Structure 1
Amino acid sequence: MIKYIGSKRALIPWIVKTVSRIDQVTPLRRVVDLFSGSARVGHALKAQGFYVIANDHNAYAHVLAQALIGADARAYPRSKIQPVLERLAALKPKAGWFTQTYCVKARYFQPRNGARIEAIREAIEEYQADPTLRAILLTSLLLAADKVDSTTGVQMAYLKRWAPRAWNELQLAYPPLLPGPGEAHLSDALEAAGALEGDLFYLDPPYNSHSYLGNYHVWETLVRFDSPTTYGVAQKRSDVRERKSPFNSKKEARFALERLLARIKAPHLVLSFSDEGFFRPEEIEALLGGWGFVVRLCRTHRRYVGARIGIYNPQGVKVGRVSHTQNREFLFVASQKRAVASALAEEEPTAKLAPGR
């Protein structure tokens, strides 16, 4: 999976255990991952046998979900995909606008890798007739590019000196596809919330002012391949300034979450949040209270590497200081069934059970 701020990589066992425990009390068939991002959570839930419906409003996230959640590995086995990947990997490098923008003006990739990325990306358009295959190939390219980038995990900036991994050769590999069906949707969460149906909704909304589009604008451009106008040292897409989410605004986030919760029609909900977010745990519990019984679960988690090493200006000089290296991650489980909340509260020593309304 790609490096991702707010990634639930270390929390996956906890999240899967929580959803599986709900499933033991009351069987779940369809799980909706409304802010799918890197698709890591949806992929883990699909691996557990759940039918996963993933949604995100960014193009790169939609592509990842198409491959890692929507694609059936039985229909797209390694034997079918590997020859295509080998053909793409053998293409002659092509240093065009992508290489100029993201390897010369900015330094996200070594130019030799950037030229290979550009040639491969251009060739992938030949596979538009099969959207799932196209998504699998794009996912392979995203995963390969992520392994040779020169960042701390976000694309707000790049390292002054090349990261050791940036010197490695780009290598396409068969993505970790899973057998079985799934769905991937490209939609705003507020619109999708009322349209998608599931037995459980997993919510991992943006919880502060940092935009995922701004943090991963290079992936958005690599998927769209639209040669956008850019700005700043980081060469961000110009539409980063326009495509704003209310969840990234302290002023708008509460109303957005209220509207979201009001549109979801499901008996169970799991909401992931951090103590770095706009809301205090008690505020989230109050917002979820209308759902029924609410359980608050908590874990301590290391912050992403960029936050741990500090902030540097374009000249490579450290500015400011690291405020903290850990944060608390919460899972809020809201269920119409008291038995679900009670079962979780009994198993988690850190759990807090709030009564239903």
Structure 2
Amino acid sequence: MRYIGGKSLLLDNINNVITSEIPEISSVVDLFAGSGIVSSNFKSKGYRTISNDYLYFSYVMSRASIVLNKKPAFKNLGIDDPIKYLNELTFADTNFDIDQCFIYNNYSPVGQCERMYFQPENALKIDIIRLTIKKWYTEEQITENEYFYLLSALINAVPFVSNITGVYAAYLKFWDKRTYKTLELTEPIITNNGKKNECYNLDFTELLSKKCDLLYADPPYNSREYLPNYHILETIARYDYPEIHGVTGMRNYDDQKSVFCKKGTVASAFETMIRDCKSKYILISYNNEALLSTEALSDICKRYAIGDSFKLFEFSYRRYKNKIPNDTAGLKEQLYLLRRH
């Protein structure tokens, strides 16, 4: 999944800083997990991993891959291959009413709806798969772990048939070739690190009391809120039939705005996180063009760091705009490391 601020290109830098500076750590809290790629990296390296994100769809994406150490058995379902079953499911196979199909009725061009996020066939398939997963769980045919395993597979499949450039803040006014593909779920990748890993859907302040060796934080860098850019994935994950508005069918997100996205609150948000953290070390991903200046964030880190433990690492980074690399000098990804306890 293409994800704003995704760290796939920076995993080596993150790993190198950890192994060279704090090789003794064995447990990590990923406070703003996003796509889950960094949490999955930590888990694959053998760390006991605690993943968190305030957005529910992000939590769903990580819930299976982080918590589970093996594929669920689906003993009570009576279906040998649930992923194959869901891929082959048609509307005629179900007892659902078309009025129950929220994505079909609101994000594909049918009836009075003009939104072009999905071809009608894929929109309907998203709905019947989501409704089936919910039905199985409600009727106790699948466990909580099995529920999130299947839901994660659905959320991860949706972007491959979405009529967007990368995020859901707008849809294309013509059909991209990917939208003609049939929605297809694939098995979530599960690695076994032999640890009891955890996953949460909480405000960042509620995880600061977790005592781990390392707290890794990758908060938003600028004023761009995440939920408006992924509102449809949030709605598919929750399937809560929200009130929507505007050209894009946006759900309300006033209660999910981040303090890291506001110039007036970003400094105090960082201070709260660093001051109240109970983990031994903190590693923060940020960049030199973010909402809070390098100097300001460095000062906060130094204020709470034990001794002279604070270190700043910077890496040149190519700026990407509209899929075209832009090599304008100046942008640097940063890692702020300090010891707290």
User: Aligned partners of 1:325, 1:151: CA distance in 2, in Å?
Assistant: 29
Structure 1 residue 74: deviation in Å? 5.7
* 1:115 to 2:113 alignment: no
Residue by residue over 1:272-314, the C-alpha shift from the partner in whole angstroms, topping out at 9 and shown as x without a partner, is 00233111212111111121322211223334554759xxxxx
User: Aligned partners of 2:330, 2:239: CA distance in 1, in Å?
Assistant: 36
User: Aligned partners of 1:97, 1:203: CA distance in 2, in Å?
Assistant: 34
> Does the aligned pair in 1 maintain the 2:29–2:214 contact within 8 Å?
yes
Matches within 5 A, 1:101-112: 101-104=106-109, 105-112=114-121
Q: Give the unaligned 5+ runs of structure 2.
A: none
* 1:200 to 2:200 alignment: no
Q: Structure 2 counterpart of 1:12, which letter?
A: L
Structure 1 residue aligned with 2:147: 134
Structure 1 residue 33: deviation in Å? 0.3
Residue by residue over 1:172-191, the C-alpha shift from the partner in whole angstroms, topping out at 9 and shown as x without a partner, is 11011111331001110012
Structure 1 residue aligned with 2:87: 89
Q: Indicate the RMSD between aligned Cα atoms, in angstroms.
A: 2.5
Structure 1 residue aligned with 2:161: 148
Structure 1 residue 147: deviation in Å? 1.2
Matches within 5 A, 1:128-277: 129=140, 130-179=143-192, 180=194, 181-194=196-209, 196-238=210-252, 240-277=253-290
Structure 2 residue aligned with 1:296: 312
2:69 counterpart (64, 72, 75): 72
* 1:100 to 2:105 alignment: yes
Instruction: Rate the CA distance shift 1:336–1:247 in 2: closer, same or farther, 3 A.
Output: closer
Structure 2 residue aligned with 1:341: none
Structure 2 residue aligned with 1:333: 337
Q: Structure 2 counterpart of 1:127, which letter?
A: Y
User: Aligned partners of 1:261, 1:199: CA distance in 2, in Å?
Assistant: 14
When normalised by structure 2's length, the TM-score is 0.86
Structure 2 residue aligned with 1:13: 12
Q: How many residues align?
A: 318
Instruction: Rate the CA distance shift 1:76–1:283 in 2: closer, same or farther, 3 A.
Output: farther
Residue by residue over 1:71-100, the C-alpha shift from the partner in whole angstroms, topping out at 9 and shown as x without a partner, is 1126569xx997011111121147522112
Q: Give the unaligned 5+ runs of structure 1.
A: 310-321, 338-357
Residue by residue over 1:232-289, the C-alpha shift from the partner in whole angstroms, topping out at 9 and shown as x without a partner, is 1111102x23422211111111111111111101221110002331112121111111
Structure 1 residue 127: deviation in Å? 2.6
User: Aligned partners of 2:152, 2:259: CA distance in 1, in Å?
Assistant: 28
Q: Secondary structure at the match of 1:298?
A: strand
When normalised by structure 1's length, the TM-score is 0.82
User: Aligned partners of 1:168, 1:74: CA distance in 2, in Å?
Assistant: 27
User: Aligned partners of 1:283, 1:191: CA distance in 2, in Å?
Assistant: 24
> Does the aligned pair in 2 maintain the 1:31–1:201 contact within 8 Å?
yes
